[in-house]
Structure 1
Amino acid sequence: MASNKRHLDTQRPTSSKQPRINVTDQQFESLVMETLAFSESDDSSADEDDILPQEAEVDSSSDSDDNIPLAELQSETGIEEAVPYSDSDEPTTSQESTRKYYYGKRRCMKWAKDPPSRNRRTPAHNIVIPMASVNVPAESEPVSLFNLFLSPNIKNKIILHTNERLEILRQKYKRTNKPELRDIDEIEFDAFLGMLLFSAAFKSNDEDVNAIFATDGTGRDIFRAVMSKDRFQMILIALRFDDFSTRDERKLANVAAAVSEIFEIFVSNCQKYYRLGDNTTIDEMLVSFRGRCRWKKYMPNKPCKYGLEIKCLTDGRTGYLYNAYLYTGMNSDGLGLSETEKKLLLPSQCVVRLSKPIQNTNRNITADNYFSSIEICCELKKVGLTYVGTVKKNKREIPLEFLQKNRTVKSTMYGFTKDITLLSYVPKRNKTVIMVSTMHHDQAMDVQKEIPEIISFYNTSKGGIDSLDEKCAKYSCSRRTRRWPMVIFYRIVDIAAVNAFILSNYKAEDRLIFMKNAAKSLVRGQLERRIIIPQLSLELKGLLTRILGTAAIPRTEEESENCRLNVRKNCHLCYKQKHRKTSVVCHVCKKPVCLQCSKPACNTCR
């Protein structure tokens, strides 16, 4: 009876004019709560002002307590209304069951049961504005597409700083002219990238280096043809991505200074050559790593558990990476934001930072419940973007009625403001899903799937990051390492290969062929340069000839002259037994050899 009495006593005063309440009054909160308790408004739409103002005046002289114009209202629909929440166990009164609003906790947010009145035209915020991009020829070679992302400025920085590290390593050896210690150039670095792509295509990224370069027939011939095992390992050891002399100073502002410069250039290249679709996805990517790093994260729901986190924005349909940044710990989400934006919640800061390149294009962002809030919906609305996502159930804006578990399976409840739609759906018994959308403004259903249209749209557009993760995991060049900058570099190469494949016209099942073609083009320059080395063994020259698909390079006149001695000398193989003298020298080792100890070969078979 206490509940019934509470509603019977709260009648509207008969006076037509009520005093204006100011926020400076000491009893402001109690006066607002008393005013709202008189009765429910007859309007059926709410807007962003439904969040109780912090610095505003509440005018109670109007006909409605919430001061919402009646023109925004729609007629009653045939959807069954849910029973409002009651503090007592007694049945609710008829006045409660017929009210037209839901309220969040402590009445912090008001939601109308009926959708706002709208005409049949497509809302302006759902009309996508095209974005400028550099046109890429449709029939571009795989290696050309790959080099769009790992551009020459990235390669030149890596080559420069790697050679600086090689100079330091040479000082630790007595023989400083060892072949594996020489400086790396652009041709050899491209060949190194090609070897990484081959290891991804062959799924041998976790295979031991000795097994890859084995000469007993169990190894990969292409690796031995490109470079020696010692040279490959030395490049892995010496690879650097920044100036070590200034790293400590730069780490004061950015703890990821060892790799952040080339990562930012790579992200900038990703934004040049692709036009995003209507829908984008924001989520985190965890790159597996168990070494020492101050910003390593533990995420039990991820397959790898431990790793380095990258916040990403991708195309919702293809999974193309468009924008990303490295999460380096607390306050790293707000880098580059204004002071006002830094006051937002950390997930909201992440969404605002990632959405900077696509603001004012009316595109949609789909994200999970970690990023979703009423706050981010309002912020994105200001910059011309819409948002769809699941919502955590502990948000205070969610009405208690939306969280009830004893509801019919597949039942829905909607709450509307002028720009935001809140949905509560029961997919199965004792489970409730809460969704928020600034793109949908009605109670539409997906007839084929028999679920609300908001949920159907979310299911089709939420997989952008998951698709990118899957593609990177299927063909990954990541090798086991204790250096976290190398982990980020490997992921850059993986994403560059994925983005290049998306730009191409290859079919999904031809991705292996695409990666092999790109890798072949990257290593070809090194193969052509290596085949003319005189000291190279005949076995490797034959291997290079077979890989290049061309005949061996004919012997030049100078080489032919160098194979003859002006003075006859003893054969270095049989001089102790036969004492034969000869004027012929071996083409490889340049030692004198008689005709009985050698086998002649023509230029084609050489």
Structure 2
Amino acid sequence: MMDSSPVRDETAEETEDEEIEEASDIDDDAEDAEFKINSDTSDSDSMEEMEEQEGTDETEDWISKSGLSWSPSHEETLEYFPAPTGLAPGPTRYAISQISTLKSAFDLFLTDDMLQLVLKRTNLHGREFTKGWKDIDLVDLEAYIGLLLLAGVYRSRSENVKSLWDDQTGRAIFRATMSCGMFSLIGQNIRFDRKAERAEKSDDKLAAIRELWDQWTDRLPLLFNPSRDICIDEQLVPFKGHCRFRQYMPKKPGKYGIKIWVACDVPTNYVWRMQVYLGKAAGDAPEVGQGKRVVIDLTKGLRGHTVTCDNFFTSHALAQELLKRKMALVGTIRSNKPELPPQLLRIKKRAVLSSLFAFTKNTTFVSYVPKRGKNVTLLSTKHRRPVVNRDDKKKPEIITDYNSCKGAVDTLDKLVGTYSCHRKTRRWPLAMFFNILDVSACNAYVLWTAVDPTWFKTKSVRRRVFLEELGKSLVNPQIARRTTVPRSPFAAAIVKAARTVPETDDSGPEGPSPKKRKVCFCCIKKKRKVYNVCCKCEKHICREHMSTICLSCCP
């Protein structure tokens, strides 16, 4: 039966979003939410449009319901000069110093401390509730995670576990890593807290995974510096089981699930900060100014950036608060907001594709009519002039910039969903753990390609190759130490090869390498830095001065 937990009704938000979607999809592309609105770049043309619209309102004061005074002219509006961010966009120095292989990039997000936490809780639960349980170690847990990632790469997340291990329908690497029963047993017993201690945290709805979640989210900002453009939106982790804070979002593919607020870097789609929406406490009134509070929380520590968000978050109060923190805001705004001047909402006599602006000293409103009877309103503290682009649709520059930044979180959802490791489960903490793995792998890919931009640069499926190599690097230690050989000939061949061949480095074919490069001891003049070391003297050596020898001839 469907859970009776509180479900958020978003009909009010849907009505506003439908207007924006219809405005943005003039060419009958219903699924593309991008505004296809064009405009005129010259200030003179835009001012002529404004004068036409203002003709009927010359005697009216541009005062909103909240008492804010606006002006149709930008003469008193101050120029916007973004503050320096103080950060170089891209991976931090700490992240760069720690990355040498694909696995090392992933390990920055799921550290040994986090894995030991999961390992400890899982073994405790297994001993208590599973008959004949044998404690697993870190290699087993990493192999389990690696198989989850590989199942996502092979688009098998919805496939039955038994078919993944089947001789005909499955893949050999699953049978070579561990048995089907072992994989299912770990999935049944994996835990992130002690149920006996949960009663002490009854007021925390996220108690079942709180410790792991906090450790993981605290690391996200430490490894990457975002660019100037930040997008804030909501992500839905699909889940239909019992959960006290499950939400209903009809526009998301999964419809039901756990809602997470996400701050995402626009150029790279790196997830910089996340916050779970836990709903209101029992008996409490709905939170007032929730959108403003979420944006402030997700942008702590930033300055000089531009925040792009939708009409759920945007308000004049948020714009002013961000300006105090040296940040700008660009976003759509609902037409029922009291800070909007009434002139922007009157569209009965407005011409199609016309734009009307309203200004204060540091804020700009624009009202755009994409077609008869429809009105799109946006707020910006970054744009201080009534600039429109020279095009057939006369799209304002505010809408152009909004369109280029608004889809970062939606793009993240597409990236995560394409190769997601999420499997069907009745336990919401496990669904959250699957999302942690997906986002960690996505962020690790961003770091790895930033550190090594030439890696598989010509391939169109770089991310798929990255995930596949990452999954194999996680399962290889488990394959190499297996005591029994699988009956399947292909799986047996993988196990035998892992036993006889030394573990290779993810970054190249030369073999295992330390985390830091050093100069080849034979290249005195060239000073060539390499990862490879001699297996006998353990000195660093380049490919030019190394020779290949088989295991039987090795002394």
TM-score by length of 1: 0.69
CA deviations over 1:152-188 (Å, ceiling 9, x no partner): 1111100010010111134xx3xx3xxxx21111111
Distance in structure 1 (CA, Å) of the matches to 2:248 and 2:171 = 36
Residue 129 of structure 1: aligned partner: 86
Distance in structure 2 (CA, Å) of the matches to 1:108 and 1:197 = 55
Q: 1:277 to 1:534 in 2, by over 3 A?
A: closer
Distance in structure 1 (CA, Å) of the matches to 2:225 and 2:189 = 37
SS for the counterpart of 1:80 is: helix
CA contact (8 A) 1:116 1:417 kept: no
Distance in structure 2 (CA, Å) of the matches to 1:490 and 1:214 = 24
1:534 CA drift (Å): 5.7
Residue of structure 2 aligned with 1:444, choices 376, 384, 387: 387
CA deviations over 1:525-579 (Å, ceiling 9, x no partner): 101111xx267658477333466394699xxxxxxxxxxxxxxxxxxxxxxxxxx
CA deviations over 1:306-327 (Å, ceiling 9, x no partner): 1110111111222111001111
Distance in structure 2 (CA, Å) of the matches to 1:344 and 1:213 = 51
Residue 339 of structure 1: aligned partner: none
Pairwise mapping of residues 189-588 of structure 1 onto structure 2 (< 5 A)? 189-215=141-167, 217-252=168-203, 254-330=204-280, 345-358=289-302, 361-406=303-348, 407-447=350-390, 450-505=394-449, 507=457, 509-530=461-482, 533=483, 539=489, 542-545=492-495, 548=498, 550=500
CA contact (8 A) 2:172 2:490 kept: no
Q: 1:446 to 1:430 in 2, by over 3 A?
A: same
Distance in structure 2 (CA, Å) of the matches to 1:228 and 1:538 = 12
Amino acid at match of 2:248: Y
Distance in structure 1 (CA, Å) of the matches to 2:388 and 2:84 = 21
CA contact (8 A) 2:83 2:326 kept: no
Residue of structure 1 aligned with 2:63, choices 103, 107, 111: 103
Q: 1:475 to 1:537 in 2, by over 3 A?
A: closer
Amino acid at match of 1:113: P
Structure 1: give runs of 5+ residues left out of the alignment.
1-75, 85-93, 335-341, 554-602
1:134 CA drift (Å): 3.3
1:243 CA drift (Å): 2.6
1:103 CA drift (Å): 1.9
Residue of structure 1 aligned with 2:125, choices 165, 170, 195: 165
Distance in structure 2 (CA, Å) of the matches to 1:537 and 1:307 = 40
Larger radius of gyration: 1
CA deviations over 1:3-32 (Å, ceiling 9, x no partner): xxxxxxxxxxxxxxxxxxxxxxxxxxxxxx
Distance in structure 1 (CA, Å) of the matches to 2:502 and 2:110 = 32
CA deviations over 1:256-310 (Å, ceiling 9, x no partner): 1111221121112211111101010111111111101111111112121111101
Distance in structure 1 (CA, Å) of the matches to 2:432 and 2:377 = 35
Residue 73 of structure 2: aligned partner: 114
Distance in structure 2 (CA, Å) of the matches to 1:124 and 1:291 = 49
- Select the structure with the greater relative contact order (CA < 8 A; seq sep ≥ 6): 2
CA contact (8 A) 2:217 2:274 kept: yes
Structure 2: give runs of 5+ residues left out of the alignment.
1-45, 450-454, 504-551
CA deviations over 1:43-102 (Å, ceiling 9, x no partner): xxxxxxxxxxxxxxxxxxxxxxxxxxxxxxxxx954432556xxxxxxxxx8x6435852
Higher mean alpha-carbon deviation, 449-458 vs 413-422, is at 449-458
1:128 CA drift (Å): 3.5
SS for the counterpart of 1:129 is: coil
Residue 32 of structure 2: aligned partner: none
TM-score by length of 2: 0.75
Q: 1:82 to 1:108 in 2, by over 3 A?
A: farther
Q: 1:213 to 1:443 in 2, by over 3 A?
A: same
Q: 1:381 to 1:344 in 2, by over 3 A?
A: farther
Distance in structure 2 (CA, Å) of the matches to 1:375 and 1:184 = 52
Amino acid at match of 2:255: K
Matched, 1:154 2:114: yes
Identity of aligned residues (%): 31
Q: 1:83 to 1:235 in 2, by over 3 A?
A: same
Amino acid at match of 2:196: S
Residue of structure 2 aligned with 1:145, choices 94, 105, 111: 105
CA contact (8 A) 2:105 2:444 kept: yes
* Coordinate RMSD, CA, aligned: 2.9
CA contact (8 A) 1:545 1:552 kept: no
Q: 1:116 to 1:160 in 2, by over 3 A?
A: farther
Q: 1:82 to 1:259 in 2, by over 3 A?
A: farther
Distance in structure 1 (CA, Å) of the matches to 2:414 and 2:269 = 10
Distance in structure 2 (CA, Å) of the matches to 1:154 and 1:357 = 25
Distance in structure 2 (CA, Å) of the matches to 1:481 and 1:108 = 52
1:142 CA drift (Å): 1.6
